Every structure is written in structure tokens, then in C-alpha cells.
Amino acid sequence: MANLKTRLPVLLLAGVALVALGACATLQQGPSGNARVPEPAKTVELDRYLGRWYELARYEQGFQKDCEAVTADYSLRDDGLIRVVNTCHEGALNGPVKQAEARAKVVADSGNAKLKVSFFGPFYVGNYWVLDHADDYSWAIVGEGSGRYLWLLSREPNPSPELRERLWSRTGELGYDLSMLRVTRH
């Protein structure tokens, strides 16, 4: 019995880790919009990347189903990690607010273009790659290695048609299936 008491915390932690890994594997079930995801095109200056981004389009995922007016706010935390706050309105522009907060850390030797994200506990399971961005940080294309996740971001909720065209064009150049994009309303 004493042996079980000392091993119980370890067994519980192992169980939690298996559940988390199973959840991550489940997230990978959607279709891939890019069989050959490229490495990020540029380094990222974190101080310029921080702030508010508006989602213009995305590959639809269950955790963002029916989300409109989507924003992502990034700020530097006291511990050096990045605070991530994702917000959306469910079902309509004025629908109920849904918010998720996470923390992210830069992947070493990635030019600050790859992050590992944690929405729960100590597990950094989400990959976040800034695949490309405008030199002035007016737009960004974000994905990860499987090609199942993609977000097109802008500093403005309703950018010019020229900026939208540039962003869609660049996304296609990176090999992404543009027909899978779900446009976000703002």
C-alpha cells in the first residue's frame, strides 16, 4: 500500500500526459491543405509582431467553429514567455464572446518564427509557425508542419483589397489550398 501511495502521483501525471497526447492526436485528424509546408520565410522581430492581429481567413477547426470577428493579442509576459489571448464572437459579429488564453515560447534556432503554445498546464503541444509576414508587419501567414492549420492575419479588420490580394496570393505561393479557406467576418 505504501508503494502505491508513493507511485500514485506519478501514475496520475502519466495518465494526464497520455490524455493530452491523445487529444493532440485527435486534433490532427482534419484534412491537410498543404502536403509540403515550407519552413518560415523570414525571421520575426517579436517586438514588432506583438500586439493585436485580426483573422481574415482560416482553415476551419472544431475549436473555432462558427467564430466571427476573431482577434489574437500577443504580449510579452514578465517571465519572458508570450501571452496569447484569442477572442471570437460565436455565430455572429455580435454573438457571445469566446476567449482562450495561452502562453507560448520561442523554439530555439527558429529566428523567432516558430513557437510552441500551451493552452493547458505545462504541456506545450501546439505548433505556431509564422510562415511569412509583410516587412512592415501589416499581414502574416501562420500555420504549422502538418498543413492542417492555417490563419491569415492582418493588423486591420478590413484591409484594402490590394492587401487581401497580396495575402491570398502569397498563401497560394506557399502551396496552400485556397479553396479550404474560411473567410472571417468583422
Please give the average per-residue pLDDT across 29-33, as a whole number. Answer: 81
Phi, psi of 144 (to 5 degrees): -165, 180
pTM above 0.75, yes or no: yes
Evaluate if residue 170 carries a pLDDT over 60.
Answer: yes
pLDDT digits (tens, 9 = 90+) for 35-80: 999 999 999 999 999 999 999 999 998 888 999 999 999 999 999 9
pLDDT digits (tens, 9 = 90+) for 114-133: 999 998 888 888 899 999 99
Give the pLDDT of residue 8: 38
Confidence at 3, pLDDT banded by 50, 70, 90: low
The tally of CA atoms less than 13 A away on the side-chain side of residue 109 is: 0
Whole-number average pLDDT of the chain? 87
Evaluate if residue 26 carries a pLDDT over 80.
Answer: no
CATH number of 46-183: 2.40.128.20
Segment (H or E) for 29:
none
Evaluate if residue 24 carries a pLDDT over 70.
Answer: no
2 or 135, higher pLDDT:
135
Amino acid sitting at position 8: L
167 or 28, higher pLDDT:
167
The secondary structure of 22-68 as a DSSP string is: HHHHHHTTSPPS-SSPPPPSS---HHHH-EEEEEEEEE--GGGTTEE
Evaluate if residue 11 carries a pLDDT over 80.
Answer: no
The grid cell for 71 is 482577434
Give the pLDDT of residue 123: 85
